[in-house]
């Protein structure tokens, strides 16, 4: 029953999310809206990603519930948020950003030239749309569907807070593993059942791979002016972003209100009280430290794996294994992974250290950065390693001198993605944090147990702000990776002989052999 519910709500949710994400991503590539507008929209759509998933359920209750912000503004409740519809909406909000990011990036590799070919061949607008946008994206659409499906299929936070009578398999797992009587044995049985769809997912991905094709090159062209088209998309963006804002606005209001919704008086008391707690500082530092370390280690892991896959001569089996690994870590519920780590590392020296948290996070956030870097590694020149070898480099040396510098912009994207994810994930690490290794998200979970919602929101905002800053910095670095290069050269020319040789040339070389 709960399994059927899970499939129904996750399936429908994934369908809606993919359609919506597709429309949003399409508009950013195929309209002539001002570039500034587009870049703002692009960030706003993924804003929910910067908040801990735990807050989504709250946000929905406090905005669309009986006493919610939206309900109060409109004057009556739009629909009952408990059960199917609440889940559906929260899941869509939850999975829209990652699905959007996936599709948005994939559109970059679609040759826009074909729009003209299609139009000039007399295609109807619908057929042009299909042949130039949908058809080339089928593989990615499937991937986005799977991603979205599993995110909601394995999430228990949202159904726990607004699932109502609509039981899903993830909450069952939650109740068995973490309920009144923890039962890890039955829990693992449910977890195994939950893994079955990932087999289907791997198959689906392999199947849609057949539809994939590569364009020889990616040409851009000047889009025709079309006020109707641009206006339509502008409206879509405004509506979607307004909806996201309306639902999350409450999070930015509650911390400044004495007691929502009974004493709506502005106060910074709550904020002061919560932030004056000395332990917050430690926990915040821990969080940033863990997220930063996870970002670095996760990036290195994903990079190495992708190198093996995209640029090594290892047998195909290794590469397939790598892909399967990437897929599976994405489909295992975080809670199961956390409990697995708990059992695996009990009694080992890394128990109750930051290392285990970082390791767990790195494994959990493997898939997306892996896919990101793999795409860009397989696009860059295949002759560089050979050239490097002919110039006397070892393979590793070429990797460091050439391959990595030329994928720097993707590396920055990976770093910021993993950092943000590590800041917001909860379900996996909750089991492996110890007394001295608490992070923000576990603190938030506690606040939730103790009914301190204002604290939940304040801490979430802190995470949110941190993520925004990180995102902005890394986006900037990513689009200006030559700046990094420039700074590096400056440093090298200021310090050391080694630098001088590399930069200024041959001053130090012996005159003759």
Binding residue count for other proteins, defined by CB under 8 A: 104
What pairs with residue 266 in β-bridges? 257
**203 versus 400: smaller Cβ distance to other proteins:** 400
Q: How far is the CB of 127 from other proteins (least distance, A)?
A: 8
Asked if 513 touches other proteins (CB under 8 A), the answer is yes
Kindly state the tokens that stand for 18: 């993919």
**182 versus 235: smaller Cβ distance to other proteins:** 182
Asked if 78 touches other proteins (CB under 8 A), the answer is no
Of 23, 33, 160, 461, the residue at the interface with other proteins (CB under 8 A) is 160
Contact in structure between 372 and 147 (CB atoms under 8 Å)? no
**179 versus 242: smaller Cβ distance to other proteins:** 179
Q: How far is the CB of 150 from other proteins (least distance, A)?
A: 21
- Alpha-carbon distance 464 to 141, whole Å? 29
Residues 14-53 interacting with other proteins (rule: CB under 8 A): none
Of 61, 143, 360, 399, the residue at the interface with other proteins (CB under 8 A) is 61
Residues 218-257 interacting with other proteins (rule: CB under 8 A): 219, 221-222, 224-225
Asked if 317 touches other proteins (CB under 8 A), the answer is no
Task: Give which of 22, 324, 375 is closest to 214, Cα–Cα.
Answer: 375
283-307 burial: b if 16+ Cβ within 10 Å, else e: bbebbbebbbbbbebbbebbbebbb
**8 versus 236: smaller Cβ distance to other proteins:** 8
Residues 97-116 interacting with other proteins (rule: CB under 8 A): 111, 113-114, 116
**219 versus 268: smaller Cβ distance to other proteins:** 219
| Cβ neighbours of residue 348 closer than 8 Å, sequence gap 6 or more | none
The alpha helices in 135-226, defined as continuous H runs, are 135-154, 157-162, 169-178, 184-209
Residues 174-203 interacting with other proteins (rule: CB under 8 A): 174-182, 184
Q: How far is the CB of 97 from other proteins (least distance, A)?
A: 26
Residues 345-404 interacting with other proteins (rule: CB under 8 A): 346-347, 351-352, 381, 383-384, 386-387, 389-393, 397, 401-402
* For helices 35-45 and 227-253, angle between their N-to-C axes, nearest 10 degrees: 40
Contact in structure between 125 and 132 (CB atoms under 8 Å)? no
Contact in structure between 144 and 99 (CB atoms under 8 Å)? yes
Using DSSP's 3-state secondary structure scheme, residue 199 falls into: helix
**194 versus 420: smaller Cβ distance to other proteins:** 194
Q: How far is the CB of 469 from other proteins (least distance, A)?
A: 27
**127 versus 235: smaller Cβ distance to other proteins:** 127
Q: How far is the CB of 191 from other proteins (least distance, A)?
A: 14
Asked if 259 touches other proteins (CB under 8 A), the answer is yes
C-alpha radius of gyration, the chain, whole number: 25
Q: How far is the CB of 240 from other proteins (least distance, A)?
A: 26
* Residue indicated by tokens 């040789």: 501
Stretch that binds other proteins, among 127-135, 201-209, 284-292, 371-379 (CB under 8 A): 127-135
**231 versus 434: smaller Cβ distance to other proteins:** 434
- Alpha-carbon distance 350 to 359, whole Å? 10
- Alpha-carbon distance 359 to 341, whole Å? 10
Q: How far is the CB of 468 from other proteins (least distance, A)?
A: 28
Of 4, 135, 273, 490, the residue at the interface with other proteins (CB under 8 A) is 135
Contact in structure between 372 and 414 (CB atoms under 8 Å)? yes
Residues 472-511 interacting with other proteins (rule: CB under 8 A): 482, 485, 501-503, 505-507, 509-511
CA–CA distances in Å: residue 305 to residues 289, 292, 373, 389: 24, 20, 9, 21
| Cβ neighbours of residue 505 closer than 8 Å, sequence gap 6 or more | none
Chain CA centroid to CA 245, Å: 19
Stretch that binds other proteins, among 45-53, 98-106, 145-153, 450-458 (CB under 8 A): 450-458
Asked if 117 touches other proteins (CB under 8 A), the answer is yes
Of 211, 476, 491, 495, the residue at the interface with other proteins (CB under 8 A) is 211
| Cβ neighbours of residue 388 closer than 8 Å, sequence gap 6 or more | 395, 397, 398, 401, 402
Of 4, 206, 273, 436, the residue at the interface with other proteins (CB under 8 A) is 436
Stretch that binds other proteins, among 120-128, 191-199, 231-239, 458-466 (CB under 8 A): 120-128
Chain CA centroid to CA 197, Å: 21
Residues 274-293 interacting with other proteins (rule: CB under 8 A): none
Contact in structure between 310 and 403 (CB atoms under 8 Å)? no
Kindly state the tokens that stand for 101: 């990011």
């Amino acid at each position: 029953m709960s399994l059927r519910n899970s499939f129904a709500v996750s399936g429908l949710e994934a369908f809606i999310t993919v359609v919506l994400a597709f429309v949003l991503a399409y508009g950013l590539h195929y309209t002539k809206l001002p570039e500034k507008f587009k870049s703002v929209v692009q960030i706003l759509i993924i804003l929910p990603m910067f908040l801990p998933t735990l807050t989504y359920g709250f946000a929905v209750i406090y905005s669309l519930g009986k006493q919610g912000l939206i309900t109060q503004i409109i004057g009556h409740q739009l629909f009952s948020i408990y059960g199917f519809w609440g889940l559906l909406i929260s899941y869509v909000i939850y999975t829209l950003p990652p699905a959007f990011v996936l599709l948005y990036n994939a559109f970059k590799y679609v040759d826009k030239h074909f729009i003209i070919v299609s139009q000039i061949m007399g295609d109807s607008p619908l057929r042009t749309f299909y042949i130039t946008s949908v058809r080339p994206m089928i593989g990615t659409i499937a991937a986005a569907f799977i991603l979205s499906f599993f995110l909601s299929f394995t999430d228990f936070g949202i159904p726990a807070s607004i699932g109502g009578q609509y039981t899903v398999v993830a909450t069952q797992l939650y109740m068995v593993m973490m309920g009144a009587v923890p039962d890890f044995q039955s829990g693992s049985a449910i977890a195994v059942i939950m893994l079955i769809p990932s087999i289907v997912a791997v198959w689906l991905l392999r199947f849609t791979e057949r539809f994939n094709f590569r364009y020889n090159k990616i040409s851009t062209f000047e889009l025709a002016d079309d006020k109707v088209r641009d206006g339509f998309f502008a409206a879509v963006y405004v509506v979607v972003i307004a909806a996201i804002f309306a639902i999350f606005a409450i999070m930015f209001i509650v911390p400044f209100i004495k007691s929502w919704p009974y004493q709506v008086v502005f106060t910074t008391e709550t904020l002061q009280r919560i932030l004056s707690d000395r332990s917050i500082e430690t926990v915040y530092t821990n969080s940033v430290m863990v997220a930063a370390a996870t970002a670095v280690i996760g990036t290195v892991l994903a990079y190495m794996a992708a190198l093996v896959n995209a640029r090594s001569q290892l047998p195909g089996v290794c590469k397939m294994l790598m892909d399967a690994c990437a897929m599976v870590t994405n489909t295992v519920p975080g809670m199961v992974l956390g409990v697995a780590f708990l059992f695996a590392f009990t009694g080992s020296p890394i128990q109750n250290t930051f290392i285990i948290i970082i390791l767990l996070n790195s494994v959990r956030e493997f898939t997306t950065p892996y896919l990101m870097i793999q795409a860009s590694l397989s696009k860059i020149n295949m002759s560089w390693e050979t050239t490097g070898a002919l110039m006397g480099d070892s393979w590793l040396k070429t990797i460091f001198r050439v391959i990595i510098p030329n994928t720097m912009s993707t590396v920055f994207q990976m770093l910021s993605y993993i950092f943000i994810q590590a800041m917001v994930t909860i379900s996996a690490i909750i089991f492996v944090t110890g007394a001295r290794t608490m992070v923000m998200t576990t603190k938030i979970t506690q606040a939730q147990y103790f009914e301190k919602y204002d604290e939940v929101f304040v801490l979430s905002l802190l995470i949110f702000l941190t993520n925004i800053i990180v995102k902005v910095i890394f986006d900037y670095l990513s689009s200006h990776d030559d700046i990094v290069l420039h700074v590096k050269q400056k440093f090298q020319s200021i310090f050391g002989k080694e630098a001088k040789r590399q930069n200024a040339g041959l001053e130090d070389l012996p005159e003759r052999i």
